[in-house]
Structure 1
């Protein structure tokens, strides 16, 4: 039996405008207990995806050590100090979702077999993929949805005496 995308997708998607601040996005994701959300433009079109990982990476990049091994320890310290100063200055002007989002949106049709979705998610290192019908997004499949499917199938097999 082939399971299709529409059978396991979450149909309600919580999108955020690209003009929101990074802090507002962080609160939204936390309040809704989700790790990522599609990003929309002024016309409501999805233009990317923003995740907790994007927020973390943005904040972390300001404090990470320089990777250029040709720098002396003093130069490395100065480069870090400059990045921190820039990051602090940026804090005075709110960072918007458009500044940290991933502008690539991958999607598959509702009729796509879940096995194919898993292959795409593994190959592209994705935790979520949008589901479409006639080019319009109708839902989302996340790694949680995949795990739930596996767990449900395992339970069904055990109850049926197959496992």
Structure 2
């Protein structure tokens, strides 16, 4: 599966000159966990997450303590540029989703912007990936059948069953036709693995 098949587009971006409170309201109202930060020309200069925006936004409540808490040493960050992450991991539309998942697992990053040249064209979050995996077996089966029928006349008669995202293909064709069917099935969103039986 390729990144463009799972990414959310168009992407919601935060202007670099916004305040932290403006960014908090945007992420909350759009129900997103992170957004690219862009300059005046729309080029990405960073990314800001919910966690970035929460830093310094709450003070201790004196009702929770026996004595008064010390006042904060510095005022909370006011601008998005103060809290954003400037060095951003990105992906391209034609990248394999498997590589993106590896980046998320190894780095703990929850959202990855998708860029074309210097323009942000989408974003992939863990939620987007979970949405692909949440497709039911019936939908996956129907999508695989449609892909086999539409993309190759040779694979149109391949029989398809799906259990927990694992696609089982059965057909009377030769080895070449079986390989074509396997490749086509692997491109369908929600497919975890493809097994081919004669």
Q: What whole-Å deviation, never above 9, does each CA across 1:129-160 have from its counterpart, x for those lacking one?
A: 11123443221111111001111265545786
- TM-score norm. by structure 2 comes to 0.61
Where structure 2 has 5 or more consecutive residues not aligned to the other structure, the ranges are 61-66, 143-159, 164-198
Say which one has the larger Rg: 2
Instruction: Give the CA deviation at 1:81.
Output: 2.5
Of residues 63, 67, 81, the one that matches 2:70 is 81
* 1:114 paired to 2:97: yes
Q: How does 1:138-157 map to 2 (within 5 A)?
A: 138-152=121-135, 154=137, 156=139
Where structure 1 has 5 or more consecutive residues not aligned to the other structure, the ranges are 64-76
Of residues 4, 10, 13, the one that matches 1:6 is 4
CA separation of 1:155/1:129 partners in 2, compared to 1, >3 Å: closer, same or farther?
farther
Higher RCO by CA contacts (8 Å cutoff, separation 6 or greater):
1
Instruction: Give the CA deviation at 1:11.
Output: 1.6
Structure with more of its chain in helix, by fraction: 1
Give the Cα separation in 2 of the matches to 1:153 and 1:133: 32
Bigger mean CA offset, 7-16 vs 131-140 = 131-140
- TM-score norm. by structure 1 comes to 0.73
Q: How many residues are matched?
A: 140
